[in-house]
Amino acid sequence: MIKSQIKEFLTRLRGWEGCNVKGKGENMSWKCDAKSFTLSRKILIKMGISRAKQDAFLEECESYSAFCDCEILFNAAEYLL
């Protein structure tokens, strides 16, 4: 995936169709299906990303200790960009 696609993906994953991250610090809340990329896959499919590219991208996320949707945002996002 190119940088602009990754930026779009992270924005969407942070928003209502993804983890729906709200608040800051101790008041932060989000949703996540732990140990799964369910939300990420739905977004990537809507973006038109092929299954092979999805698999490669999510494998890269795992290399940055992201093993579920919210961990992509909290652990991998800074490295993906």
Q: Where are the domains of the chain?
A: 3-18+34-80
pLDDT digits (tens, 9 = 90+) for 62-81: 999 999 999 999 999 999 99
Average pLDDT for residues 12-35, to the nearest whole number? 93
Q: Residues 59, 29, 79, 7: is their CA dihedral positive or negative? A: positive
pLDDT digits (tens, 9 = 90+) for 36-60: 899 999 999 999 999 999 999 999 9
List alpha helices for 1-81, DSSP H. Answer: 3-14, 38-46, 51-63, 69-71, 77-80
